C-alpha cells in the first residue's frame, strides 16, 4: 500500500511517496515555479541520483499531473500505476477554530478551508488548489487534510486571546492560532521518547527555525503557547517576515509614505525580517558567510534574530514553570550551528548550558543529537522534524477509521524502538566519515 503526501505552496508542490508495508520512503521531490515560466521537478528515488526535469506548470493541476507522470514513469517512476496509491495526505496551513485534528476532505471541510482563506491568503489558497488538483487526478481515494493549526487548539484562552475588543474574536475569530503544528507534534513526541517520560507529563520549549520560524511552549504534552499569531507573521524574526513589531508602527509608516494596507501587508510579510535587515539575504548560510567576512548588517541581523529567540525561550520557561528539554528543529534549527551558538550563549542563568564543540558537530538530518553539557539542568536536543511521516500516519489512520486527536492516538515514532530506515542508512554513511558523531547521538533514557 502506497500513501502520497502533498504540500502545495503558492508556487511549489512538494511530495513524498511512502510504502506502508515496508515502512519506507520510495521517493520525494518538489515541483518549483508553479504558475510561472520555467517550471521544473526535482525528483529523488531511494538509491538513485536525483533528477531534474523541465516542464511548464501554469496551474497546480499541471504540477500534480507532472508528479503523477514522474512517479509512474518507466525510467524515473516508483509505482506501476495510480491504483497503488490508497490515500493522499495534504498539508493545510489554516483550519481556523473548526479543526482540532486531521480530517478526510469532504465538501464541508473544503467550505471551511475557504471560509478562513483570508487568515492565510497565500498558503490556504495554494493548499486548496492542490487538493482540488489531486482529487481530479485521484478521484477514488480518500484525501486527508493535516492542519498546521490543529496542534495548537489545546492552548488556553490566556494564551490565544488578544487584548482587543471582544467582538473581534466573537464575530471574526481574531485570535492566536499558531502554525508549524505538524512539526511540533512530531518533535514533542520524540522528545518525550528521548527523555523516557510520559508524553503527557512532559514540558518542552521547541524552536522550529526555518525561513518561517516559531517557538512552542508544550505543557503536559500539549501546545500551551506559541509565537505565531492569527497569521504566520507574528513572533520571531524570519526570512522575509518582520515578526513582532509595535502595532502602531505600520500606521506611522503608512501616514509618512502613503502606502496602502495591501502594500504594508506585503512589506511586513515579504520585504522585512532578515531580508529587510541585510538588504539582500534570507538564507542564514549567506548571512553567515557575509558575517564572517565582516559585513556589519549580516552580523547585526544574526544578533537580532538570536535575541528574539532567547526572549521567547526565557518567557516560555517562566510560563511553564518547569522545562524538561529545549528542542531545536527545522532547517536552521537542525543545521545552522552558528545561530544556535548565538541563541544558547548566555542562557546558563536559566539552567541551559550548551557545549560549543558538540553544537558545532551537530548538523545532520539523520539522527537526533544532544548538545548540552552534563551540568545543564535542561537538556538541549536537536530533533530533525518529519512532518511527512505525521501526514502519512494520519492519512492511513483516517483511511482505516482508526484516527483520533493526538491525546488519544499513538504514532509509530513514539516507540523507543522506532527507526527511520532512510535516515538510519544516511547515518551509517555519515558515521563512516565522521565517527565522532556518535558522541552526540541522543538515545532514549
Examine the pLDDT at 11 and tell me if it is beyond 90: no
Examine the pLDDT at 410 and tell me if it is beyond 70: yes
Q: Are strands 380-382 and 143-147 parallel, antiparallel or unpaired?
A: unpaired
Examine the pLDDT at 9 and tell me if it is beyond 80: no
Tracing cell 478521484 back to the chain, one arrives at 139
Cα distances (angstroms) measured from residue 232 to each of 205, 347, 380, 406: 18, 27, 25, 23
Answer with the one of 120, 147, 174 that is the final residue of a domain. 147
State which residues form the domain around 306.
Answer: 196-383
Examine the pLDDT at 441 and tell me if it is beyond 70: yes
Does residue 439 fall inside a structural domain?
A: no
Does residue 214 fall inside a structural domain?
A: yes
The pLDDT assigned to 198 comes to 97
Q: Per residue in 67-117, pLDDT tens?
A: 989 999 988 889 888 888 999 999 998 888 888 899 999 999 999 888 888
Catalytic residues: 148
Number of compact structural domains in the chain: 2
- Range 48-55 average pLDDT: 91
- Range 9-15 average pLDDT: 82
Considering the domain architecture, whether residues 203 and 350 belong to the same structural domain is answered as: yes
246 confidence band (pLDDT: 50, 70, 90): very high
Question: pTM to 2 decimals?
Answer: 0.94
Q: Return mean pLDDT, the chain.
A: 94
The pLDDT assigned to 21 comes to 92
**Spatial contact of 111 and 165, defined as CB atoms under 8 Å apart:** no
Examine the pLDDT at 120 and tell me if it is beyond 80: no
Q: Per residue in 146-177, pLDDT tens?
A: 999 999 999 999 999 999 999 999 999 999 99
Write the CATH number for 14. Answer: 3.30.420.40
Does residue 166 fall inside a structural domain?
A: no
| HSE value, Cβ hemisphere, 13 Å, CA-based, for 425 | 6
Residue 198: all three cell numbers together: 510520559
Cα–Cα–Cα angle for 299, 355, 220, nearest 5°?
Answer: 95
Phi, psi of 208 (to 5 degrees): -90, 100
Of 173, 177, 298, nearest in space to 234 by CA: 177
The pLDDT assigned to 122 comes to 67
Amino acid at each position: 500500500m502506497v500513501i502520497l503526501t502533498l504540500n502545495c505552496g503558492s508556487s511549489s508542490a512538494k511530495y513524498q511517496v511512502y510504502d506502508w508495508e515496508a515502512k519506507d520512503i520510495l521517493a520525494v521531490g518538489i515541483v518549483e515555479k508553479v504558475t510561472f515560466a520555467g517550471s521544473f521537478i526535482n525528483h529523488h528515488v531511494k538509491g538513485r541520483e536525483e533528477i531534474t526535469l523541465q516542464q511548464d506548470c501554469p496551474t497546480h493541476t499541471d504540477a500534480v499531473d507532472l508528479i503523477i507522470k514522474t512517479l509512474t514513469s518507466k525510467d524515473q517512476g516508483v509505482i506501476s500505476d495510480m491504483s497503488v496509491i490508497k490515500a493522499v495526505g495534504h498539508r493545510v496551513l489554516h483550519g481556523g477554530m473548526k479543526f482540532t485534528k486531521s480530517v478526510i476532505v469532504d465538501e464541508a471541510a473544503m467550505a471551511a478551508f475557504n471560509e478562513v482563506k483570508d487568515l492565510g491568503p497565500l498558503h490556504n489558497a495554494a493548499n486548496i488548489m492542490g487538493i482540488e488538483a489531486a482529487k481530479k487526478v485521484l478521484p477514488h481515494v480518500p484525501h486527508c487534510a493535516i492542519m498546521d493549526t490543529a496542534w495548537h487548539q489545546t492552548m488556553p484562552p490566556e494564551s490565544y486571546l488578544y487584548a482587543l475588543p471582544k467582538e473581534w474574536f466573537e464575530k471574526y475569530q481574531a485570535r492566536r492560532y499558531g502554525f508549524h503544528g505538524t512539526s511540533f507534534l512530531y518533535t514533542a513526541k520524540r522528545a518525550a521518547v528521548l527523555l523516557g517520560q510520559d508524553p503527557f507529563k512532559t514540558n518542552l520549549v521547541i524552536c522550529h527555525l526555518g525561513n518561517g520560524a516559531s517557538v512552542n511552549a508544550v505543557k503536559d504534552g500539549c501546545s500551551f503557547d506559541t509565537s505565531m499569531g492569527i497569521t504566520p507573521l507574528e513572533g520571531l524574526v524570519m526570512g522575509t517576515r518582520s515578526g513582532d513589531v509595535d502595532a502602531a508602527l505600520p500606521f506611522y509608516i503608512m501616514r509618512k509614505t502613503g502606502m496602502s494596507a495591501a502594500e504594508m501587508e506585503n512589506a511586513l510579510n515579504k520585504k522585512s525580517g532578515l531580508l529587510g535587515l541585510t538588504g539582500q539575504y534570507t538564507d542564514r548560510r549567506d548571512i553567515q558567510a557575509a558575517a564572517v567576512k565582516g559585513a556589519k548588517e549580516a552580523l547585526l541581523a544574526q544578533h537580532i534574530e538570536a535575541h528574539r529567540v532567547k526572549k521567547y525561550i526565557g518567557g516560555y520557561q517562566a510560563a511553564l514553570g518547569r522545562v524538561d528539554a529545549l528542542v531545536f528543529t527545522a532547517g536552521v534549527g537542525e543545521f545552522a550551528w552558528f545561530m544556535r551558538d548565538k541563541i544558547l550563549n548566555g542562557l546558563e542563568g536559566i539552567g541551559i548550558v550548551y557545549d560549543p564543540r558538540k553544537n558545532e558537530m551537530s548538523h545532520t538530518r539523520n539522527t537526533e543529537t544532544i548538545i548540552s553539557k552534563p551540568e545543564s539542568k535542561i537538556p538541549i536536543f536537536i530533533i530533525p522534524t518529519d512532518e511527512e511521516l505525521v501526514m502519512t500516519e494520519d492519512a492511513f489512520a483516517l483511511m482505516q477509521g482508526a484516527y483520533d486527536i493526538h491525546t488519544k492516538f499513538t504514532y509509530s515514532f513514539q516507540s523507543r524502538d522506532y527507526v527511520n530506515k532512510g535516515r538510519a542508512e544516511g547515518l551509517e554513511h555519515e558515521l563512516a566519515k565522521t565517527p565522532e558523531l556518535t558522541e552526540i547521538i541522543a538515545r532514549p533514557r
